[in-house]
Amino acid sequence: MYPRSMEDSDCVLVMGSNMAENHPVAFRWPMKAKVEHGAKLIHVDPRFTRTSAMADIYAPLRAGSDIAFLGGVVNFVLNSERWNKDPFFRTFATTYTNAASIVSSEFRDTEDMGGVFSGLMAYTGDAPEWPFNGFIGEYESSSWSYEREGGGAGGDNPGGGPRETGREDGGGPNEQPALDATKAGAGGPPYDDLVRALLQPPVQRDDTLTDPRCVLQILRRHFARYTPEMVEQVTGCPRDQFLLVAQTLLDNSGAERTSSIAYAVAWTQHTYGVQIIGCAALLQLLLGNVGRPGAGIVALRGHASIQGSTDVPTLYHSIHGYMSAPSALEPHNSLSEWLAQETQPTGYWANTPKFMVSYLKSMYGAAATRDNDFGYAWHPKIIGDHSHMPMFVAMNEGRVKGMFCIGQNPATSLNAKLERSGLRKLDWLVVKDNWLHETAMFWKTAPEVRAGEVATADIDTEVFFFPSSQVAEYDGSFTNTQRLLQWHYKAADPPGECRSDMYFTYQLGKRLKALYAGSTLPRDQGFLNLVWDYESTDPREQQLGEPESEKILKEINGYYSEEPGRHVAGPEDLADDGSTSCASWIYCGVYPSPDENRSANRQADPPGVPGAHLGWGFAWPSNRRILYNRVSADPQGKPWSERKRYVWWDEAKTQWVGLDVPDFPTTKPPTYRAPPGATGMDAHNGTDAFILKTDGVGWLYVPEGLVDGPLPTHYEPVESVVRNPLYKQQSSPVLKYWKIDGNPLAELADAKYPYVITTYRLTEHYLSGAMSRWLPWLTELQPELFVELSPELANEQGIANLDRVRISSPRATVHAKALVTRRMRPLQVAGRTVHQVGMPFHWGWEGLSTGDAANELTALVGDPNTTMHEGKTFVCNVHKA
């Protein structure tokens, strides 16, 4: 869902985010809901923050115990009379979720195995060239899949299947269909046969929801131990507070009411972050809070256009539009292998061949032909996890020669000292930024240099600094939290030598192409054939060397290969035969004709008229604002209630209509039944609202795609002050940890580090502070680094407000001023008092306001699905300095 839709919520749960402080403008909408129609606002956070201040209900919890809390709500809901009686919930669950689907008989839940799922084994998946993936274990996950008609686990669907299936030693039951499909696709387009070859027998169902192996029964058993008592034990949240939250959510869900959940990085920055979010999704599916106005989960994104940067990805492991990057660890050796591996036979992803071929056409243009697999072989392949932490680990091992640091400040990032020692091992470092920030200056002013531990003269890294222009100095687009593209125009020339990042990338590409010119090496052909023409038509921009951003957006949108002046109008226009070129299928339609840039649209709905402001910008895909909005109508296509009507089936027009662009085939009637053997969207019934899912339903239970389990399970953070009260398994068995010098972890309940610490943001500053600590107006608002602690803890340690204190973790010690406040509180966890402290991570040693980086304290440990670090909870000690 998107933030503005929270205006329509009857209850808003903010958890895993400090929305008021970090998304103040978006926070306008829950505030509107609260003030204008009395929506209940709930905040669950270890600290009482400015969001808590606005909340009707504030519930404290121990950092990192979110799954226990949410699991408790799931258990509460499943056992509630209302959920079991109200026909809305039952209908919603059976029609729109996989509650009725039967799971493989081989599946074993955490209940039976002390906190782990079936299939756990040792990790052996690193490529020798890149031994940095960091997994401490892995699952062979075929036992998690659905039971299919005709008996036996159908095995993982190849699409998005777990990594290990492709490894030499992997194999597994799903290799068979993949091979067939590869053959079917080997002859080139059309790829219909390939898609058909991927088809599997239908999933077994029990619509009475009584089969012990149906998803709902598995859920009931899985969450049975998440009782209110247990929630209190694990999270430290007083039971009555927890019950109030659970009851309020339930009361505000149903046909007439909707609740939304907002989270951000306080859910992602854990070694089980994806599972926390999954748990929230599960809860919202159970409550029918998906695809409806004021319902859903708002993933509050961070950096400006961070959404755009994952759509048109800077992510190492995906190519545009969330397709998997070709990988050396997967059976990705040819286009047909890649397609067989990545295509889903049913649902919208059956179009993958069209998306992929159009993508390759956008990469290699005319050089991409049917005969050369559209240049697939030229495309670079990944050889492992190339995200932030493994990169710096590899850097420390001397495996990385150079780095472009464009709009990032790693010198104060995770386990900062290690990041800086990595930088010192580089041959060259290019920093492109608006400020001479800590990374640009690491060789001169880093703490270890100032302390004399490292001499500047001994650092061989050659550092280049390129001043960057600011956003108002070039044309371009932002994609915000709600997947909305908004064009922005250049207001002024950048000063001096400052240039945009587009300029830098474009010019670098041009120069490299010139350097490679004439090479006949096969590995250089991709570079040579790369389409790279964004030359500006504006003489002024030409003089500056800036490319034309419209040209880039046009390429992303796509056009007909033979007729570049004719744009494709939407993903439906894409073809798998090379006749269309489109960099990113999800953005397809943003530029439907050369003179219509829909991201520049600025037509808001008139006040008082219900609508989704479809005339404002362009939301991918196809300008839809709320995804899966088919579920806002009941199975028959009628709105669940007048109050919550959004998209519905118009009998007279025989099409889906409503306030938004329907996220469903426009003319497919609710009564449509998929014929056997159908592929793609034809394989979905008129009630299968989740069009990207193979089975067309929302997944309460996730049979594939996650590496750490099909159901959320409470684990303790890597560093914890308590033993896991729920399971024998202490923390995630498959998390990522890099055991290298300088990255030690505390033992469980280590007496040297008795307190829980969390790191976070302040409204007044921005991230590493490179953008805010230079600004006097912001600096005076929060002039110094502090650590927040409760009076109780301060008392225990003899610390007074504003005292200088030492905070230490197994990695480092930093100094800060104490801010003693009752907003922090000790919690009773597992029968003892747990103190939590909190530190903003905005400081570094350059700028108008300087201070230690909180990230000196953090460790290189991460989520097994995303490699997101666990910055939100670890252990520390606090002393008066």
Q: Which chain residues interact with ligand MGD by CB under 6 A?
A: 15-18, 22-23, 44-47, 49, 63-64, 66, 264-266, 269, 300, 302-303, 406-410, 413, 432-435, 437, 468, 471, 501, 758-761, 763, 765-768, 770-771, 838, 841, 854-855, 858, 871-873
Tally Cβ neighbours within 10 Å of residue 152.
13
Nearer to ligand MGD, 665 or 847 (CB): 847
Nearer to ligand SF4, 24 or 152 (CB): 24
**Considering only CA atoms, which of 264, 49, 32, 57 is closest in space to residue 763?**
49
Tally Cβ neighbours within 10 Å of residue 688.
23
What does the alpha-carbon distance between residue 58 and residue 726 come to, in Å, rounded to a whole number?
Answer: 24
407 near Mo ion, rule: CB under 5 A: no
Query: Do the Cβ atoms of 576 and 353 come closer than 8 Å?
Result: yes
Interface residue with ligand SF4, options 24, 380, 398, 744 (CB under 6 A): 24
What does the alpha-carbon distance between residue 205 and residue 27 come to, in Å, rounded to a whole number?
Answer: 41
Tally Cβ neighbours within 10 Å of residue 486.
18
| Least Cβ distance, residue 296 to ligand MGD (angstroms) | 17
Nearer to ligand SF4, 763 or 813 (CB): 763
Nearer to Mo ion, 471 or 881 (CB): 471
| Backbone φ, ψ for residue 710 (5° rounding) | -80, -15
25's contact among ligand SF4, Mo ion, ligand MGD, none, with CB below 5 to 8 A by partner kind, is ligand SF4
Distant-in-sequence, close-in-space partners of 148: CB < 8 Å, separation ≥ 6 = 154, 200, 201, 202, 203, 204
746's contact among ligand SF4, Mo ion, ligand MGD, none, with CB below 5 to 8 A by partner kind, is none
Interface residue with another protein, options 187, 562, 783, 880 (CB under 8 A): 783
| Least Cβ distance, residue 244 to another protein (angstroms) | 13
Cis peptide bond N-terminal to 190, omega within 30: yes
Which residue blocks in 466-538 are alpha helix, DSSP H?
501-516, 522-529
50's contact among another protein, ligand MGD, ligand SF4, none, with CB below 5 to 8 A by partner kind, is another protein
With b meaning 16 or more CB within 10 Å and e meaning fewer, what string describes 628-657?
bbbbbbbbebebbbeebbbbbbeeeeeebe
407's contact among ligand MGD, Mo ion, another protein, none, with CB below 5 to 8 A by partner kind, is ligand MGD
35 near ligand SF4, rule: CB under 6 A: no
What does the alpha-carbon distance between residue 205 and residue 214 come to, in Å, rounded to a whole number?
Answer: 7
763's contact among another protein, ligand SF4, Mo ion, none, with CB below 5 to 8 A by partner kind, is another protein
302's contact among ligand SF4, another protein, Mo ion, none, with CB below 5 to 8 A by partner kind, is Mo ion
Q: Nearest 5 degrees, angle CA 865-CA 866-CA 870?
A: 105
Distant-in-sequence, close-in-space partners of 57: CB < 8 Å, separation ≥ 6 = 40, 41, 42, 43, 241, 244, 245, 248
What does the alpha-carbon distance between residue 66 and residue 263 come to, in Å, rounded to a whole number?
Answer: 11
Nearer to ligand MGD, 779 or 855 (CB): 855
Nearer to ligand SF4, 86 or 764 (CB): 764
What does the alpha-carbon distance between residue 253 and residue 239 come to, in Å, rounded to a whole number?
Answer: 21
What does the alpha-carbon distance between residue 99 and residue 102 come to, in Å, rounded to a whole number?
Answer: 8
Q: Which of residues 814-873 bind another protein (CB under 8 A)?
A: 817, 819, 821-823, 825, 848-849
**Considering only CA atoms, which of 371, 295, 401, 271 is closest in space to residue 708?**
271
**Where does this chain touch another protein (CB under 8 A) — which range of 347-355, 648-656, 774-782, 856-864?**
774-782
21 near another protein, rule: CB under 8 A: yes
171's contact among another protein, ligand SF4, ligand MGD, none, with CB below 5 to 8 A by partner kind, is none
495 near another protein, rule: CB under 8 A: no
25 near another protein, rule: CB under 8 A: yes
With b meaning 16 or more CB within 10 Å and e meaning fewer, what string describes 280-309?
bbbbbbbbbbbbbbbbbbbbbbbeebebbe
Nearer to ligand MGD, 59 or 329 (CB): 59
Query: Do the Cβ atoms of 264 and 302 come closer than 8 Å?
Result: yes
Q: Which of residues 289-308 bind Mo ion (CB under 5 A)?
A: 302
Q: Nearest 5 degrees, angle CA 652-CA 654-CA 657?
A: 90
What does the alpha-carbon distance between residue 439 and residue 435 come to, in Å, rounded to a whole number?
Answer: 10
Binding mask 751-770 for another protein (x = CB under 8 A): -----------xxx------
Nearer to another protein, 401 or 880 (CB): 880
Q: Nearest 5 degrees, angle CA 683-CA 689-CA 690?
A: 85
782's contact among another protein, Mo ion, ligand SF4, none, with CB below 5 to 8 A by partner kind, is another protein
| Backbone φ, ψ for residue 79 (5° rounding) | -95, -5
Nearer to another protein, 53 or 657 (CB): 53
Nearer to another protein, 340 or 819 (CB): 819
Q: What are the percentages of helix, strand and coil residues in the chain, rounded to 5?
A: 30, 15, 50
From residue 173, give the alpha-carbon distance in Å to each of 141, 165, 227, 344, 531: 11, 9, 38, 17, 40
Residue type, 275: Q
Q: Which of residues 317-336 bind ligand SF4 (CB under 6 A)?
A: none
778's contact among Mo ion, ligand SF4, another protein, none, with CB below 5 to 8 A by partner kind, is another protein
| Least Cβ distance, residue 502 to ligand MGD (angstroms) | 10
Cis peptide bond N-terminal to 621, omega within 30: yes
766's contact among Mo ion, another protein, ligand MGD, none, with CB below 5 to 8 A by partner kind, is ligand MGD
Query: Do the Cβ atoms of 600 and 553 come closer than 8 Å?
Result: no
The two three-digit tokens of residue 862, written as one number: 């991460």
Nearer to ligand SF4, 54 or 179 (CB): 54
Interface residue with another protein, options 782, 808, 867, 873 (CB under 8 A): 782
252's contact among ligand SF4, ligand MGD, Mo ion, none, with CB below 5 to 8 A by partner kind, is none
Interface residue with ligand SF4, options 7, 15, 19, 23 (CB under 6 A): 23
| Least Cβ distance, residue 490 to ligand MGD (angstroms) | 13
Nearer to ligand SF4, 420 or 765 (CB): 765
> Collapsing DSSP states into helix, strand and coil, what is residue 661?
coil
| Least Cβ distance, residue 22 to ligand SF4 (angstroms) | 8
Q: Which residue is nearest to Mo ion (CB)?
A: 302
| Least Cβ distance, residue 265 to Mo ion (angstroms) | 6
104's contact among ligand SF4, Mo ion, ligand MGD, none, with CB below 5 to 8 A by partner kind, is none
Residues of the shown chain interacting with Mo ion in the complex, contacts defined by CB under 5 A: 302
Residues of the shown chain interacting with another protein in the complex, contacts defined by CB under 8 A: 20-21, 24-25, 27-28, 31, 34-35, 38, 48, 50-54, 58, 60, 762-764, 776-784, 786, 801-802, 817, 819, 821-823, 825, 848-849
Residues of the shown chain interacting with ligand SF4 in the complex, contacts defined by CB under 6 A: 23-25
